[in-house]
Chain A
Amino acid sequence: MTAKLSLRGVRKRFDDHEVCKGIDLDVAEGEMVCLIGASGSGKSTLLRCMNLLEPIDDGTIWLDGKDISEPGLDPQPVRQQIGIVFQSYNLFPHMTAAENVMLAPRRVRGLSREDLRPRVTQLFTRFGLGDRMEHYPDQLSGGQQQRVAIIRALAMEPQIMLFDEITSALDPELVGEVLDVLRDLRKQGMTMVLATHEMGFARELADKVCFLDAGRILEQGPPEVLFSEPRERRTKAFLSRVL
């Protein structure tokens, strides 16, 4: 089976610090892959490389068998297919939740607000925010803002969703409502890659867990194997610290 998204030998360097030192990774259609590892191990950078927010220095990324890492390639069509949600939500503070969600479909796909309204309303309702559509981001809780950010990415109907530690900035009691959204997406069969510190969640739902250490995928496998019988010493050390 060919992978939906495939990375081979991906390298990314910021000045003289190499953050990704040759990453190989395959994500199959409908699969949920979790990236775990300490802060600074390269999880976030890897996600940002996948939807071309950061140009990679070396290696190749294939989306549906098409090389999207070609230098000079227009990144916009790729980004429409790969949505990303950030740790700090990054909602547009001067727009209501609904306007946040509708901006990209309106400008990029040329849809009108009237066209979008039913589908957007349905998304807000599905994620328990039906009565928050006309609120501004600063009138919403962290968990609500993050759910709006997820809806905003989903509104472009991407084929893959990337999640960059989306619960790390949340108060503990708000984490659950965001993870529920991910469970829901998982049930729908969305292809997802998560950088996460929620080990329990990764164990429960991931098809594959990758342990990143100093810019390399040191170990990967199904969660029941990686969490119970890690092969590498560093994986063991990391898991013993966080579990």
Chain B
Amino acid sequence: MEETPLQKDPAEHSATTPTRREVYEAGVRRRSIRIALISTVSVILAIVVLVPLAPGWEAVQRSFFNGRVFAETFPGLLEAFLMNVMIFAWSAPLIAITGLAIALCRDTRAPALFPLRLFGIAYTDVFRGLPVVLVIYIIGFGIPGLGLPRPWNSPYIWGTLALVLVYSAYVAEVIRSGIDSIHQSQRSAAASLGLSDQDTMRFVVLPQAIRNVVPANMNLFIALQKDVALLSFIGPVEIFRQAGVYKSLYANFTPYVGAALIFLALTIPATRYADYLMNKQNRARS
């Protein structure tokens, strides 16, 4: 029982009296915090003092930061934002499924499935090569133009489909990079056990690949959440369109600022979370 106090001693030492190293590091830390604080405060002060000195500041303040307009339009904007959430909610799973399917198409090796592979390549090339808004116009206006019966003539449906098509191409590429990132030795190990190529993909490669690309895909879905606003160009009254309506009604730009705040309230936490996942993964690898 003599060992116990001996082992405990260093721990107690560091808990009560800090080592020389700890004292030094604490000093460095305090100094960094002080410098960062001073520089941040001076930048903010400069902005607060200098910006209102600009000649047009009063006009800008009136038309962009009008408290009354903000208070009156904000609830309406929030309500319109539900439409964005809806569009996102049903397009995101479709994108995940289609993206995975396209990625697997591109990875087929059997000669009989060559057309699938060709399709996968053409698909990703075409939809990554077009501006999202162009695809939304072509599909969102083009397909309802075929004279389909209600509800199939709704630009809401076809506009969302356009988003699904474009984002699937990006998700497919991300998943494919995840598949490539799995080391050959994992496939060797699976093959040496007699597993078929399909089983190797399904049980060994894909589960690891998809885990590896979760952060990258999170970033894509954050971008999707913002691009839902592009549907406003072809009809659905989502938040961006609603802000435009309010702008005309009040002859004031404040509703746009309100819409921006609503977007940020959602995207900033999501981005932070994606970064957190990415860092966690990098740490796990090193």
A residues near B, CB below 8 A?
48, 51, 53, 75-77, 79-80, 83-84, 86, 88, 90-94, 103-104, 107-108, 152-153, 156
Q: Check if B192 sits within 8 Å of A76, measured CB to CB.
A: no
Chain A residues within 8 Å of B199, by CB: 107-108
Interface status of B207 (Cβ within 8 A of chain A): yes
Chain A residue at minimal CB-CB distance from B211: A94
Q: Which residues of A have CB within 8 Å of B192?
A: 51, 53, 79, 83-84, 153
Which of B189, B192, B208 has the most A CB atoms < 10 Å from its CB? B192
B194 near A90 (CB under 8 angstroms)?
A: no
A104 near B185 with CB under 8 A, answer: no
Q: Which B residues, 210 to 244, have Cβ-Cβ distances below 8 Å to chain A?
A: 211
Q: Is B196 an interface residue (CB 8 A)?
A: yes
- B193 touching A104 by the CB < 8 A rule? yes
Is there contact, CB below 8 Å, between B208 and A93?
Answer: yes
Q: Find chain B residues with CB under 8 A from A48 CB.
A: 188
B194 to chain A: which residues have CB within 8 Å?
Answer: 76-77, 79-80, 104, 108, 156
Q: Which residues does B use to contact A, with CB under 8 Å?
A: 185-186, 188-196, 199, 203-204, 207-208, 211
CA distance A90 to B193 in the complex (A): 12
Residues of B with C-beta under 8 A to A75: 191
Task: Tell me which residues across on chain A come within 8 A of B188, comparing CB atoms.
Answer: 48, 53, 86, 90
A94 to B212, CA, bound (A): 11
> How many Cβ-Cβ contacts under 8 Å join chain A to chain B?
59
Complex formed: what's the CA distance from A84 to B189 in Å?
8
Pull 15 A–B residue pairs with CB atoms less than 8 Å apart, ordered by A: A75-B191, A79-B192, A79-B193, A80-B194, A86-B189, A90-B188, A92-B190, A94-B208, A94-B211, A103-B195, A103-B203, A107-B203, A108-B194, A108-B196, A108-B199
Q: Bound complex: CA of A91 vs CA of B185, how far in Å?
A: 9
A141 to chain B, nearest CB (A): 18
Set B185, B195, B207, B211: member contacting A88, Cβ < 8 A = B185
Q: Report which of B185, B193, B211 forms a contact with A103, defined as CB distance below 8 A.
A: B193
What is the minimal beta-carbon distance from B178 to any residue of chain A, in angstroms? 13
Whole-angstrom distance between the alpha carbons of A114 and B113 in the complex?
36
5 extra interface residue pairs, beta carbon distance < 8 Å, beyond A79-B191, A79-B193: A79-B192, A80-B193, A84-B192, A103-B203, A104-B190
Q: How far is the CA of A80 from the CA of B190 in the complex (A)?
A: 11
CB distance from B138 to the nearest CB of A (A): 41
Nearest 5 pairs between A and B by C-beta? A104-B193, A90-B189, A80-B194, A79-B194, A84-B192
